[in-house]
Amino acid sequence: MTYTITQPCIGTKDASCVDVCPVDCIHSTDDDSIYYIDPNECIDCGACEPACPVTAIFAEDDVPTEWEAFKEINVLWFTDKDAARKKLAAFQ
């Protein structure tokens, strides 16, 4: 199981989660309005979840139904950033 960053991060993009991640698996670019967790690097420690000031981070099995698409968007960003950004646009 990995963690997923969801809709509340959009536009907020607070780096508190990045600061506490022990394996530096949370990434973004200046062009992105949200952070992404690399599922191949995440060690499922959960340190990021309580650090998020907007409650945008959930364990994969706990992502609210209305934000299920963020699991796919998060994984996609690491293989095709443009495709992930297009899917994310539906939530902005």
- Burial (CB count within 10 angstroms: exposed 0-12, middle 13-18, buried 19+), residue 44: exposed
Residue extents of the structural domains in the chain: 3-91
Tell me the C-alpha distance between 12 and 72, whole Å: 20
pLDDT in tens, 20-59: 999 999 999 999 999 999 999 999 999 999 999 999 999 9
pLDDT of residue 6: 97
Q: What 8-state DSSP symbol labels residue 11?
A: T
User: Topology of domain 3-91, per CATH?
Assistant: Alpha-Beta Plaits (3.30.70)
pTM over 0.75: yes
Confidence of residue 92 (pLDDT cuts 50, 70, 90): confident
